[in-house]
Structure 1
């Protein structure tokens, strides 16, 4: 009998059925929803706080390389503006996202995994002690049997 070659469809099904693909899909969906929350925090909280110093919209912060600079609704009308406020807003969004992900997801998960590893090592340590103890007992039994044979209790 000839062996059936795996076809592309079977390989694709096997790929999709792996757990990490499903985990990745869930992460993308959650990440997309989380992005909306972070953007809302930046626009609703951070921008007004920065607005207490200057403008409420970080996108309005810019510098001009060639005067006169005029930007209307994100479209350059004249000059060469450097829109550093937009970069600042995106950076704040990134930092907030990274902080929330780290403190609410990564840090608790790493602490949980460290506890699980410590429990596993403690359990393995207990088994090692039991195994060593059993080995010691077996050696003692062997030594006792050898001693019995050597003291004339050998029955032939």
Structure 2
């Protein structure tokens, strides 16, 4: 009997790396890291000065004290400014990604799909509901009964 040789660990790893999803994910991580620098610059250069017009440019300075005194290292301080800054960064990142990447790409893909359908001359098939099929069967049976037996 001939035994089939199992692929080596190296061959399996190589096949894993050559999958399209892994390469796409690696590109996305690199682009995401570069994009983070842009978003951080927008927050530091635009958002923080706008917030600074009302209060302080460093959102980390916004906090509340839970104990009677928060001087130095004593007391319990809630650093809600840090959370606000992280939330603003997240919202700006999401907005920029959506409006500059996702929305244009989805519109582009929709145009490509519309052109492909127009070239093929296909029209979308409207699915028939079960109720419509039953109504058609009822109408056919009623027409058959009306015409009488053997008069097809």
Aligned counterpart, 2:25: 24
Structure with greater proportional strand content: 1
Structure with greater proportional helix content: 1
Q: Separation in 1 of the partners of 2:64 and 2:117?
A: 58
Aligned counterpart, 1:10: 11
Aligned counterpart, 1:59: 60
29-38 vs 79-88, greater mean Cα deviation: 29-38
Q: Separation in 1 of the partners of 2:42 and 2:71?
A: 28
Q: Separation in 1 of the partners of 2:56 and 2:122?
A: 64
1:100 and 2:101 aligned: no
Between Structure 1 and Structure 2, whose CA radius of gyration is higher?
A: 1
SS at match of 2:107: helix
Alignment of 1:111-150 (within 5 A): 111-125=107-121
Alignment of 1:20-99 (within 5 A): 20-70=21-71, 77-99=73-95
The 1:4/1:108 distance shift into structure 2, 3 A limit, reads: same
Give structure 2 stretches of 5+ with no counterpart. 124-152
Deviations 1:73-107 (A, max 9, x none): xxxx1111111100010011001111111111101
Length-normalised TM-score, structure 1: 0.72
